Amino acid sequence: MYLACTDFSVTELNKRLWTVKKRVTLTFPKRSVHMPVTYRLAKDFNVAANIIRAQVAPNQIGTLVVELSGDIDQLDAAMDWMRSQDIGISLASREILIDEEVCVHCGLCTGICPTEALSLDPQTFRLNFTRSRCIVCEQCVPTCPVQAISTNL
């Protein structure tokens, strides 16, 4: 599979009336791993695929967590096409949830978060979570000493 982090023409897409974003988990059978999926999504459907997380190896089932954005009809068509290629699509993708009631703002999670999605405010020392940076690696979940962090699945 050709992994291109396509971040192009988002502003152009946003001009359209029905631009939507969907975070999905794609599961590739072994034989689809060679297919340049993100390229086809962009070229054939004008759908931008921002790769959040990927696990792909030759001759193995691959999984890809992507945020797809594009016209609502074209997005549906793109997903129909992927299904026709035997690519599994799960709409319920994992997300990190932080329970504000439980969090004590100790900041232990900020040291292991690889993308700095979790950080402490330099003035207040309260925990900040920048969801757009999160790659859902889930390392913070067992690190949190008060179990304030979980995934939604």
Binding site for another protein (CB under 8 A): 104-112, 119-120, 122, 124-126, 139, 142-143, 145-147
DSSP codes, 86-140: T-EEES----EEE-TTT-----GGGGT-TT--EEE-TTT--EEE-GGG-----TH
Q: Is the Cβ of residue 46 or residue 128 nearer to another protein in the bound state?
A: 128
Q: Is the Cβ of residue 108 or residue 135 nearer to another protein in the bound state?
A: 108
Q: How far is the CB of 27 from another protein (least distance, A)?
A: 22
Distance CA 15, CA 74 (A): 15
Distance CA 36, CA 96 (A): 29
Q: Is the Cβ of residue 27 or residue 139 nearer to another protein in the bound state?
A: 139
Q: How far is the CB of 42 from another protein (least distance, A)?
A: 35
Distance CA 17, CA 35 (A): 30
Q: How far is the CB of 138 from another protein (least distance, A)?
A: 12
Q: Is the Cβ of residue 56 or residue 92 nearer to another protein in the bound state?
A: 92
